[in-house]
Amino acid sequence: MLTLLTSMYLLVRAVSTQAEPIRVVVTGAAGQIAYSLLYSIAKGDVFGQDQPIVLILLDIPPMLPVLDGVVMELQDCALPLLREVIPTDKVEVGFKDIDAAILVGSMPRKEGMERKDLLKANVAIFKTQGAALDKYAKKTVKVLVVGNPANTNCLIASKSAPSIPKENFSCLTRLDHNRARSQVAMRCGVSSDSVKNVIIWGNHSSTQYPDVHHAMVDLHGSEKPAYDAVKDDTWLRGDFISTVQQRGAAVIKARKLSSAMSAAKAICDHMRDIWFGTPEGEFTSMGIYSSENTYGVPKDLIYSFPVQIKDKTWKIVEGLAINDFSQSKLDATAAELIEERDTAVAFLGV
Ligand code: NAX
């Protein structure tokens, strides 16, 4: 019996170690977020410890020499799951048959540049990349947009890839979600995993609405609503919200560089939840396509909602009570997204 069990175990192990590699592309791969991100992906933190990976690094032509350095470092990590690393500046190579796309690459804001000009430069990149995804990627590809303005870039990429389901596209608001979670945890003197079900609504910008009306805090064994645990409504409705909204700017001011380590961690959290699902009874935040006017959010936006994920499919958490204070904030961030979308669509003609 023991021998039979042992040989079955060895067989299962052999099969699992022979799993087909998945192809994952990271754009902006020579940039600072990618530098913090690639190691975690390559060592199995996102797609699983038994999932071999072909990692494709896409950036623009002047960055190819830098990519060579990143490739050497990945090789030098001697990671068993990493089957191949492909550096490229061509979308037809970068997006060929991919299973997951993490679109970080974008144009940074230059001095004196208007917000609208930055938006136009970036949505043009995401139009091209959306069209390339449509042409070259698997139809099951999961696309995560990180490059800013992340929501509108994601919308444009999705509109430019009509053969890929809109549900396969999402944008990163997990960093904001993690920031909100951590702020509440620090305030209550508990670890971040003692706080669950915070929500980021709307745009990944300073109009986003970090909402803890449905969050729960485990205060040393007793679970309480966040408002009861924090016991400071003024802070929760004031400084807490502005701290999360302005956190990116605060990091830039202090570090003279934008958030990279925390952004990379959030990307891993987001993609891992898509791949393996959210824990039972918990939800997370991500920018997804609004098709149903849920919570009064206009259709045809990429808007951050509370979601639960199962079998690689998200579902908006519905039926949460939204008070007037919250509703006005949901509406304000939607208004900004409508303006961004209309500017982008008029400019690109998509
Ligand atoms: P970096 O400037 O360090 O890197 C960007 C990289 O993108 C560069 O290597 C650049 O050559 C490349 N790139 C530019 N155009 C490209 C194209 N057409 N195809 C492929 N690659 C291209 O920026 P980094 O700090 O890594 O940030 C990247 C983006 O993430 C920025 O847009 C940033 O604003 C955004 N962020 C979004 C966050 C979110 O939560 N959604 C948080 C972190 C970050 O601020």
Instruction: Kindly give the confidence (pLDDT) of every residue in the chain, 350 residues in length, as a single tens digit, with 9 standing for 90 and above.
Output: 445 445 555 444 544 556 899 999 999 999 999 999 999 999 999 999 999 999 999 999 999 999 999 999 999 999 999 999 999 999 999 999 999 999 999 987 776 677 788 899 999 999 999 999 999 999 999 999 999 999 999 999 999 999 999 999 999 999 999 999 999 999 999 999 999 999 999 999 999 999 999 999 999 899 999 999 999 999 999 999 999 999 999 999 999 988 999 999 999 999 999 999 999 999 999 999 999 999 999 999 999 999 999 999 999 999 999 999 999 999 999 999 999 999 999 998 87
**Closest residue CA from atom 32 of ligand 1:** 147
DSSP string computed for 174-197: HHHHHHHHHHHHHHHTS-GGGEE-
d(CA 122, CA 130): 12
pLDDT of residue 312: 97
* 17 φ/ψ angles, rounded to the nearest 5 degrees: -75, -15
Apex 200 CA angle, 246 and 332, nearest 5: 75
Reported pTM: 0.94
CA separation for the pair 54, 240 (Å, rounded): 41
pLDDT recorded at residue 220: 87
Residues with CB under 6 A from ligand 1: 27-28, 30-34, 58-60, 63, 104-108, 125, 146-148, 150, 172, 175, 204, 248, 258-260, 263
Neighbours of 151 (CB within 10 A): 29
Which ligand 1 atom is at minimum distance from the Cα of 171? 41
User: Hey, what amino acid is at 134?
Assistant: D
Measured CA to CA in angstroms, residue 152 lies from 29, 53, 302, 340 at distances of: 21, 29, 7, 7
Q: Are residues 153 and 145 in contact, defined by beta-carbon separation less than 8 angstroms?
A: yes
List Cβ neighbours of 35 (8 Å cut-off, separation of 6 or more): 70, 260
- From the CA of 260, give the closest atom in ligand 1: 25
Residue 190 Cα to ligand 1 midpoint, Å, equals 33
Cβ atoms of 209 and 334 within 8 Å: the answer is no
For 26, residues 6+ apart whose C-beta sits below 8 A from its C-beta are 34, 37, 38, 41, 55, 56, 57, 58, 102, 104
177 is catalytic: no
Nearest CA to ligand 1 atom 27: 33
Q: What domains can be seen in the chain, in order of their start residue?
A: 20-171 (3.40.50.720), 174-348 (3.90.110.10)
Take residue 245 and report the two structure tokens written for it. Answer: 């909204």
Q: Is residue 156 within 8 Å of residue 279, measured between CB atoms?
A: no
* Distance, CA of 321 to CA of 79 (rounded, Å): 47
